[in-house]
Each structure stands twice: as structure tokens, then as C-alpha cells.
Amino acid sequence: MIQELKKSYGHIFESALLNEIVQVGTYKEVPAGHKLMEIGAYVKGMPLLVSGALKVLREDKNGDELLLYYLEKGDTCSMTMTCCMGQTKSEIRAIAETDTKLIMIPIQYMELWTSKYKSWRNFVFESYHSRLNEMLHTLDSIAFDNLDQRLIHYLKEKTRVNNDNIIHQTHQNIAYELHSSRVVISRLLKKLENKGQIVLHRNAIEIVSLD
């Protein structure tokens, strides 16, 4: 755990804080697909991502999903933080996109460290900052982009986050994450295939070139 921690956070946190993290944090490895946070659940800890990626999802009244953004190495979940402070329930769902390593910090240290460590404060602010910006860009794409643009962006992000230019997903799953329907996604994917930008397989999409 110590090496992992140092690798991802060594240059951000002062060593006293790193030591505290080692003391109170719990190291966890979760497999792809594992659900780390559910909507309406109370938050017990705050995750520091060491490797891998989480996807953060929102749900509508009908239970349909929408992918908000990914969290990666060096990120933490700002939504979780806000929940900790306010003692409110989670507004989002978080699922491991890939096999993921992370350190869970019990929530009571959040506030303590905020007064104690400057680097922690900066980290927390920085984290809010990036999450707000990600939300803005997610919102941009939903408000301003067509579904085909959103799909291309989705495919790009998927390959980047998974570091694999074959995406192992069914059309149905993609439709869920984009809050659309399978038929529509299949059609748009077929169009991309016809343009030579991707190759379709069962349960998999091979990215050729999306530019």
C-alpha cells in the first residue's frame, strides 16, 4: 500500500499526511463491475484512487442511467466529500470501470486534515474544481451535441480509460450509459462502421480511427 500510495500521491501530500493515510486508510482492490456507491446510500468513506477507474452515474425517475464522468488515478469523489460534510445520501452511483485499486479514508479525517494539512486542503479544492469542470463539459455535450457526437466522444473516452482500443460492451449497455435506446445506438454504430471508423463484433467494438 505504501508504495502504491507514494506513486500516486507522493508528490502531492506532505509526508506526515502520507503517514496518517497509511495509518487510517484501508487498501482495497475491486474488480471491474463492482459497485462502490449506490444512490441513496450513506457514505462511510472517501476513496483515493490509486489505479484503475470508476464510472460515476446518475439515474432518472424511471431508473434509466446516464454516465457523468470517470474518476482515475489521483482522483477522489467530490460528491462523496459533499455528502460527508452534509451527512446527506449519495446522489450518484459509482461502479468500477476496470479493476481498481484504492484507499478508503474514514470520513472523520476529512475535516481534521482540512485544518491540519495545507496539501490536503489544496487537494480537496483541486478535486472540487475538476469535478465541477467535468460536470460542465458533461452538461455541454448533453445540451449542445447530437447523439452521434456524444457516441464518438463516449467511444474515445472508453478506449482511453480502459487503455484498450477494443471496447467490450454490448450496444444495449452503451445505450444505457448515454441514456438512449439500443436500436438507435446500433444504427449510429453501423454508420461509423460504414465510414470505416470502427469495426463491429459481437460484444465488442474495434476502434480504427475516430478523428
Partner DNA sequence: GGCCTTGTGTAACCTATATCACAGACTGCA
Partner DNA sequence: TGCAGTCTGTGATATAGGTTACACAAGGCC
Single-letter amino acid code for the residue at 121: R
Single-letter amino acid code for the residue at 131: R
| Nearest distance, CB of residue 115 and its own copies, angstroms | 7
> Which of DNA, its own copies, none sits in contact with 183, Cβ below 5 to 8 A by type?
DNA
Residue 58 or 182: which CB sits closer to DNA? 182
- Tell me the C-alpha distance between 27 and 2, whole Å: 10
Residue 50 or 124: which CB sits closer to its own copies? 124
Task: By CB under 7 A, name the one of 126, 182, 207, 210 that touches DNA.
Answer: 182
- Cell of residue 160, nine digits: 482511453
Residue 131 or 158: which CB sits closer to its own copies? 131
| Half-sphere exposure in the Cβ direction for 210 (13 Å, CA) | 19
- Cα Rg of the chain (Å, integer): 19
What is 116-185 written as a DSSP string? H-HHHHHHHHHHHHHHHHHHHHHHHHHHH--HHHHHHHHHHHHHHHHT-SEE---HHHHHHHHTS-HHHH
* Residue at grid coordinates 476513496: 47
Task: By CB under 7 A, name the one of 99, 126, 134, 148 that touches DNA.
Answer: 148
Residue 81 or 152: which CB sits closer to DNA? 152
Part of the chain binding DNA (CB under 7 A), chosen from 17-25, 74-82, 97-105, 177-185: 177-185
Q: How far is CA 183 from CA 61, 175, 180, 188, in A?
A: 22, 9, 9, 9
Positions in the binding site for its own copies (CB under 8 A): 58, 60-61, 64, 66, 68, 78-79, 81-82, 85-86, 91-92, 114-115, 118, 121-122, 124-126, 128-129, 131-133, 135-136, 138-140, 142-144, 179
Build a one-symbol-per-residue string for 153-172: x at contacts with DNA by CB under 7 A, - elsewhere: -----------------xxx
Which residues of the shown chain bind DNA in the complex (CB under 7 A)?
146-148, 170-172, 179-184, 186-187, 189-190, 193, 200, 202-204
